[in-house]
Amino acid sequence: MGTEIERKFLVRNDSWRHGARGVTCRQGYLTLDRHRLVRVRVMGDEAYLTIKAETGPIARREYEYPIPRDDAEEMLVHLCERPFIEKRRYTLLYRGIEWIIDEFSGDNEGLIVAEVELEREDQEVVLPEWAGEEVSLDPRYLNFNLIKYPYGQWPKETEER
């Protein structure tokens, strides 16, 4: 069993893009229960089945398994909720800590979120200058909620946060 401890931030500018390389990611959910979810993800040439269970505000149990890409594609088409989460995922190092930046497309076009995985919930993090408002506790920014209520449908004032 693994534990994922993650904080999320909106991205305030494009300064993170210098030298960043990303991979296309498409994911769908077999279940949309906030407390227990099952996700299928195709990222580049690889595919994964992931099971998560909420254990705290920013912590989840996480089990992730590589699966054949063809199986993942079939599950996305025949078993997963719509719409899919479509994004380009970038990985960057900042002060020795790995950051993930997801630039969403499709129904969530315009949303860019930075995530940092921690070893402890109380771990201090030095924020890069491009990391804006923290949204770790805002359920709207959870990927499975972006399927139910895509960013493109949010009221205009929400988009300008």
Residues annotated catalytic, as ranges: 29
Q: Which helix (H) or strand (E) holds 136?
A: none
Q: Where are the beta strands (DSSP E) in the chain?
A: 2-11, 22-29, 36-43, 46-54, 59-66, 85-94, 97-104, 112-118, 131-134
Q: How many whole angstroms separate alpha carbon 6 and alpha carbon 98?
A: 11
Listed in sequence order, the residues at least 6 apart from 102 whose beta carbon sits closer than 8 Å to its beta carbon are 25, 87, 88, 89, 90, 112, 113, 114, 115
Helices (H) and strands (E) counted in the chain, each on its own, are 3, 9
